[in-house]
């Protein structure tokens, strides 16, 4: 424990947020986003990225997707597998998907020079959703890849003279309720106060991007809350922290009484639609957006929703719940118990999204509520995918 604390204390954030000199401002070649026809997307084999791909394709765009794969065919298979898992493969036109194999942490994103130059000539916007989303890793293990990836994605934007739409996180704000609702323009960090290596890495990345913005790189920053399932198909990310908590509780048949868990859960269909809709407005450049739900979901509401679909959970003390979960290595929450305890003892940040909602006004994009019907859709998805038992059996 002492060595973990030591390694976090010695992180040099001031050094890490220094942006390389070669990243300089430019005027976007497509000044009107409605004229954009080809875009670049990272992270499409991930949860939010798959839904961003769906949104971008729904607007008739050609989407070049950076995928880690041996070749383009293998990359396309990976994309199809992701779209299949999230049950949106029938909603997308794969003919307008171009697979670019590479890696965000590598020079030129791991793309051969000729292909890179060709890509830069074609694309008019860059959507960057790729990140190593791991709550258990220390910042020091994310540091180099975060800094390298952010620089490389900015370099592509510069080479293409294309605006960057950067996916950050509300995790860049310190979890202190006393600070009041954190708005889009409020100061983020300091990184030393952010609880996870992952949230520190999101902060560092955002600082590099913001510095590029100050130098004149046209860009937007998007900070989703905790991204939850699609309100239409019910598709969720099974590694999601709150779903692991719910699944673990169902596995144990127990629920921790008076447990302090409060998070801003926001449906993925809203997050992806909001990012794409706002990026289509030239006035979005230079702004930060909060893709969050109007309220938080707390432990009592989660229990109510879980019971509403038919699971019978016995409320027990937190100690009894912990004992049951920690006695079962197969329990979904087993690897995340320490983080859950930090969550319980820590504070919760609250977010404001007035500016984001005002900006989206008139686009038809709004945040759906996570009610019993939506929650039942999420559970059905997990039942179909063998993650949760059928509550009716
Ligand atoms: N999920 C949330 O609740 C949440 C909340 C706020 C913000 N965010 C942000 O939203 C974004 C997407 O999150 P997510 O939940 O969709 O994550 P995810 O499902 O874990 O997907 C991550 C994506 O990033 C890609 N990636 C990671 N390292 C890469 C690399 N070196 N080169 C190329 N691609 C790489 C992954 O590719 P592989 O398939 O090859 O691994 C995958 O496509 C992230 O920036 C995250 O920080 C997420």
On whether both 255 and 276 belong to a single domain, the answer is no
pTM for this model (two decimals)? 0.96
Residue 213's nearest CA partner among 31, 23, 36 is 23
The number of distinct structural domains making up the chain is 2
Is 272 contained in some domain?
yes
On whether both 124 and 215 belong to a single domain, the answer is yes
Residue 193's nearest CA partner among 381, 13, 378 is 13
| CA distance readout (Å), 83 to 50, 194, 388 | 6, 33, 20
On whether both 195 and 101 belong to a single domain, the answer is yes
Ligand 1 within 6 A of 226 CB? yes
Angle, alpha carbons 168-172-177 (nearest 5°): 135
Question: What is Dmax (Cα atoms) for the chain?
Answer: 62
- CB-based burial of residue 283 (10 Å sphere; 0-12 exposed, 13-18 middle, 19+ buried)? exposed
Residue 62's nearest CA partner among 97, 32, 89, 36 is 97
On whether both 219 and 209 belong to a single domain, the answer is yes
Residue 267's nearest CA partner among 349, 377, 131 is 377
Is 364 contained in some domain?
no
How many of the other CB atoms lie within 10 Å of CB of 25?
12
Residue 23's nearest CA partner among 158, 162, 145 is 158
- CA of residue 128 to ligand 1 center, whole Å: 9
Show Cβ contacts of residue 66 under 8 Å, excluding neighbours closer than 6 positions: 40, 41, 42, 43, 44, 100, 101, 102, 103, 104, 109, 111, 130
Q: Take atom 18 of ligand 1 and give the residue whose Cα is closest.
A: 46
On whether both 220 and 302 belong to a single domain, the answer is no
Residue 193's nearest CA partner among 179, 183, 209 is 179
On whether both 127 and 258 belong to a single domain, the answer is no
Across the chain, which has 393 residues, the per-10-residue mean pLDDT values are 48 96 96 92 98 98 98 98 97 97 98 98 98 92 96 98 98 89 96 94 98 98 97 94 95 92 93 98 97 93 96 95 95 88 75 98 96 97 96 87
On whether both 138 and 49 belong to a single domain, the answer is yes
On whether both 178 and 247 belong to a single domain, the answer is no
Q: Which atom of ligand 1 is nearest to the CA of 170?
A: 6
Measure the CA–CA gap between 123 and 125, rounded to whole angstroms: 6
Q: Take atom 33 of ligand 1 and give the residue whose Cα is closest.
A: 103
Q: Take atom 8 of ligand 1 and give the residue whose Cα is closest.
A: 169
How many of the other CB atoms lie within 10 Å of CB of 45?
22
Can you say whether residue 208 is alpha, beta or left, with left for phi > 0 and alpha for psi between -120 and 50 degrees? alpha
Is 112 contained in some domain?
yes
What phi and psi, each to the nearest 5 degrees, are found at residue 313?
-115, 135
How many of the other CB atoms lie within 10 Å of CB of 243?
22
On whether both 255 and 271 belong to a single domain, the answer is no
Element housing 239 (H / E)? none
CA 180 to chain centre: 23
Handedness of CA 240, 242, 247, 248 (dihedral sign): positive
Q: What is the pLDDT of residue 179?
A: 87
Q: What is the pLDDT of residue 344?
A: 66
Q: What is the pLDDT of residue 1?
A: 39
Q: Take atom 39 of ligand 1 and give the residue whose Cα is closest.
A: 45
On whether both 254 and 343 belong to a single domain, the answer is yes
β 262-263/297-298 pair status:
antiparallel
On whether both 48 and 187 belong to a single domain, the answer is yes
CATH number at residue 166: 3.40.50.720
On whether both 124 and 255 belong to a single domain, the answer is no
Is 360 contained in some domain?
no
Ligand 1 within 6 A of 238 CB? no
Q: What is the pLDDT of residue 106?
A: 98
DSSP H helices in the chain: 2-9, 13-16, 47-58, 72-85, 113-122, 139-160, 197-214, 241-252, 268-279, 299-308, 318-326, 337-345, 354-360, 372-384
Q: What is the pLDDT of residue 6?
A: 45
Is 389 contained in some domain?
no
Residue 285's nearest CA partner among 4, 31, 65 is 31
Q: Which structural domain, as residue segments, surrounds residue 127?
A: 13-228+266-291
Show Cβ contacts of residue 336 under 8 Å, excluding neighbours closer than 6 positions: 135, 136, 241, 244, 245
How many of the other CB atoms lie within 10 Å of CB of 319?
9
Q: Which of 105, 129, 142, 274 to mutate to test the pocket of ligand 1 (most atoms within 8 A of CB)?
A: 129
Is 170 contained in some domain?
yes
Can you say whether residue 224 is alpha, beta or left, with left for phi > 0 and alpha for psi between -120 and 50 degrees? beta
Is 387 contained in some domain?
no
Is 357 contained in some domain?
no
Ligand 1 within 6 A of 213 CB? no
Element housing 387 (H / E)? none
């Amino acid at each position: 424990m002492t060595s973990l604390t030591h390694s976090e204390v010695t992180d040099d954030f001031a050094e890490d947020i220094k942006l390389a000199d070669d990243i300089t401002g430019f005027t976007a070649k497509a000044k009107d986003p409605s004229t954009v026809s080809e875009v670049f997307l990272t992270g499409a084999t991930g949860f939010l990225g798959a839904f961003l791909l769906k949104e971008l394709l729904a607007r008739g765009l050609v989407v070049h997707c950076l995928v880690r794969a041996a070749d383009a065919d293998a990359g396309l298979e990976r994309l199809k597998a992701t779209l299949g898992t999230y049950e949106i493969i029938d909603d997308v036109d794969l003919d307008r998907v171009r697979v670019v194999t590479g890696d965000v942490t590598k020079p030129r994103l791991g793309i051969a020079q000729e292909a890179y130059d060709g890509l830069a000539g074609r694309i008019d916007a860059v959507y960057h959703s790729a990140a190593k989303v791991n709550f258990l890793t220390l910042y020091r293990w994310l540091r180099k890849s975060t800094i390298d990836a952010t620089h490389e994605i900015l370099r592509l934007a510069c080479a293409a003279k294309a605006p960057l739409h950067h996916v950050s996180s509300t995790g860049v704000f310190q979890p202190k309720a006393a600070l009041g609702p954190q708005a889009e323009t409020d100061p983020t960090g300091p990184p030393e106060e952010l609880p996870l290596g992952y949230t520190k890495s999101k902060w560092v990345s955002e600082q590099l991007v913001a510095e590029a913005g100050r130098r004149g790189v046209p860009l937007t920053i998007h900070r989703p809350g905790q991204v939850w399932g699609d309100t239409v198909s019910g598709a969720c990310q099974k590694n999601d922290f709150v779903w692991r908590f719910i699944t673990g509780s169902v596995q144990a048949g127990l629920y921790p009484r008076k447990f302090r868990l409060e998070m801003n859960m926001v449906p993925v269909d809203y997050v992806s639609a909001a990012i794409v809709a706002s990026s289509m407005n030239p006035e979005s450049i230079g702004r930060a957006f909060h893709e969050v739900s109007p309220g938080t979901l707390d432990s009592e509401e989660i229990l109510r929703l879980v019971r509403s679909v038919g699971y019978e959970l016995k409320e027990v003390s937190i100690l009894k719940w912990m004992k049951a979960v920690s006695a079962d290595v197969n329990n979904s929450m087993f690897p995340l118990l320490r983080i859950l305890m930090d969550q319980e003892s820590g504070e919760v940040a609250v977010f404001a999204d007035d500016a984001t909602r005002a900006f989206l006004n008139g686009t038809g994009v709004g945040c759906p509520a996570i009610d019993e019907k939506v929650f039942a859709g999420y559970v059905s998805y997990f039942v179909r995918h063998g993650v949760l038992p059928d509550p009716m059996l």
